Amino acid sequence: MTLKVINPFNNEVVSEYPEMTEIEVKDILESVQEEYLRWRKTSFEHRKKLMFNAAKVLRENKDRYAKIMALEMGKPIVDGRAEIEKCAWVCEYYAEEAENQLKSEIIETDASKSFISYQPLGIILAVMPWNFPFWQALRFIAPTLMAGNGGVLKHASNVPGSALAIEEVFHQAGFPKNIFRTLLVGSRKVNAIIENPIIKAVTLTGSGFAGRAVASKAGGMLKRSLLELGGSDPYVILEDANIEETVLTCVSSRMINSGQSCIAAKRFIVVESQLKKFEELYVYNMKNRKMGDPLRENVSVGPQARHDLRDELHEQVQNSIAKGAKVLLGAEIPDDKGAFYPPTVLSDVRKGMPAYDEELFGPVAAIIPVKDEAEAKRVANDTVFGLGAAVFTEDLKKGERIATQELEAGACFVNAYVRSDPRLPFGGIKESGYGRELSYYGIREFTNVKTIYIR
């Protein structure tokens, strides 16, 4: 079997990679385990130096890595460069903060000395998606290696070039060859990898279906897991929101990565008094998004990552229209061989429509009209997902209260779009997963939180 990369812009084969055999995977895992036994004993100062090197390598190769993403999954080149910059940031963040984040904590007890120690857990498997090929992997690798663990990456099958480039980053930075490795395998081999006793934990970013499968297997093996799954983030627009600034923020969030982001705004819940102006401005700003070749500097909307994903999105849109949603913009597949889907705006979206109930992973905005704040909060929480949410209001105290106490999500923002930040924990609740990445929570997820008691 081969992993075939098809450029979603022109439907041409970019490259093909032979899938690794079970023996090759086993040999890699054993090599990583052997290296880990040495790596775990290295100093934070040593790891810090190498992680800063990784940030440097990323920046020096920013254009090349951005081009790989554009060819493999259609990410606009300008977005790809920004993604690499963010990857360099997360490397620098953990290089600076890891030692302090994993510092032993003295706890006063009846012992002469008692404390909590954060020790490496072992080899961590990451099962990562295609939509942010570098960022999703780097936000796992940086804390994992700084904590003294080893890592292996099973990336999405349509981005093997990105996966190998990530491995290259750490080799060029001076890390031991086998402390982090990429496994070029399809999803059907993941269970066998989890079963290998060398793997101590697994982290997955992806669909609910994939998350359930991995969590079930890891749980059956009594291994720790972390899941970051889908989202249908609600953005609540209240009566006193600054509508011009709100619309710009909402459009920017919805169109992140050509709409293919778990934490992109998906459902815009707008009170009646703001509805007409919100719709007019939203459509105007969506029309100004240029769609085309992701390698062109002036393009902000590339193709969807694969034709089948584009077709699934279109089916969700058409089913919503059939159930009464009103088309304000887009909703038609362009006559192009690329996997393009146009910026689309649906209004009058109601419960029972895919645009209300499901995650639409593409450049489609669902506007849901509500009478007042109370209904807006109810609709925002009326979802199986709980990754991110935002509220827009000029009353910052009210916004803080709603975000803190009343919106059901792992990250809630006021007058800003939801984003990940190395300094803040990131993750969801409900069917958006469990566990936290980033911040000190993220680096501690895959450590042995060890109690030490000395009489």
Please answer whether residues 149 and 124 qualify as being in contact, where contact means their C-beta atoms are separated by less than 8 angstroms. yes
Dist CA 229 CA 429 (whole Å)? 9
CA 112 to chain centroid, in Å, comes to 45
422 belongs to a structural domain: no
424 belongs to a structural domain: no
Dist CA 432 CA 359 (whole Å)? 11
| For residue 218, pLDDT beyond 90 | yes
Whether residue 245 sits in one domain with residue 222? no
Query: In this structure, what CATH number is given to the domain that contains residue 344?
Result: 3.40.309.10
Whether residue 213 sits in one domain with residue 150? yes
Query: In this structure, what CATH number is given to the domain that contains residue 442?
Result: 3.40.605.10
CA angle 101-105-109, nearest 5°?
Answer: 165
Please answer whether residues 62 and 79 qualify as being in contact, where contact means their C-beta atoms are separated by less than 8 angstroms. no
Element (H, E) at 365: strand 364-370
Whether residue 350 sits in one domain with residue 239? yes
419 belongs to a structural domain: no
The DSSP secondary-structure symbol of 202 reads E
Q: How confident is the model at residue 341 (pLDDT cuts 50, 70, 90)?
A: very high
Dist CA 22 CA 365 (whole Å)? 43
Q: How confident is the model at residue 1 (pLDDT cuts 50, 70, 90)?
A: confident
% of the chain exceeding 90 in pLDDT: 100
Whether residue 370 sits in one domain with residue 353? yes
Hey, which residues are catalytic here?
A: 228, 262
Nearest residue to 174 (alpha-carbon basis) of 54, 61, 89: 54
The token pair that represents 195 in the structure block: 């079963």
Dist CA 410 CA 388 (whole Å)? 6
Please answer whether residues 15 and 5 qualify as being in contact, where contact means their C-beta atoms are separated by less than 8 angstroms. yes
pLDDT tens digits for range 63-114: 999 999 999 999 999 999 999 999 999 999 999 999 999 999 999 999 999 9
Task: Please give the pLDDT value at position 68.
Answer: 98
* Domain boundaries, position 319: 233-414
Element (H, E) at 201: strand 199-205
pLDDT tens digits for range 385-420: 999 999 999 999 999 999 999 999 999 999 999 999
Looking at residues 41-70, what average pLDDT do you find? 98
143 belongs to a structural domain: yes
| For residue 21, pLDDT beyond 90 | yes
105 belongs to a structural domain: yes
Task: Please give the pLDDT value at position 256.
Answer: 97
Nearest residue to 53 (alpha-carbon basis) of 125, 137, 126, 145: 145
Whether residue 276 sits in one domain with residue 220? no
Whether residue 248 sits in one domain with residue 151? no
Looking at residues 271-288, what average pLDDT do you find? 98
CA 25 to chain centroid, in Å, comes to 26
9 belongs to a structural domain: yes
The token pair that represents 104 in the structure block: 């032993």
Dist CA 54 CA 38 (whole Å)? 20
Written as one string, the DSSP assignment of 393-431 is: -S-HHHHHHIIIII--SSEEEESS-----TTS-B--SGG
| For residue 248, pLDDT beyond 90 | yes
pLDDT tens digits for range 164-198: 999 999 999 999 999 999 999 999 999 999 999 99
421 belongs to a structural domain: no
Task: Please give the pLDDT value at position 75.
Answer: 98
List, as own/partner pairs, every contact residues 436-442 make where C-beta atoms lie below 8 angstroms and the sequence separation is at least 24, other chains included: 436/226, 436/410, 437/139, 437/140, 437/143, 437/203, 437/226, 437/228, 438/90, 438/139, 438/143, 440/97, 440/101, 442/139, 442/143
Whether residue 167 sits in one domain with residue 279? no
Whether residue 169 sits in one domain with residue 43? yes
- Kindly report the average pLDDT of the chain as a whole number: 98
Whether residue 176 sits in one domain with residue 51? yes
The token pair that represents 277 in the structure block: 């102006």
86 belongs to a structural domain: yes
CB neighbour class for 109 (10 Å; exposed up to 12, middle 13-18, buried from 19): exposed
HSE, CB side, 13 Å, CA atoms: give it for residue 336: 19
Whether residue 290 sits in one domain with residue 219? no
Whether residue 157 sits in one domain with residue 258? no
pLDDT tens digits for range 355-380: 999 999 999 999 999 999 999 999 99
Whether residue 445 sits in one domain with residue 308? no
Give the number of domains in the chain: 2
Looking at residues 125-141, what average pLDDT do you find? 98
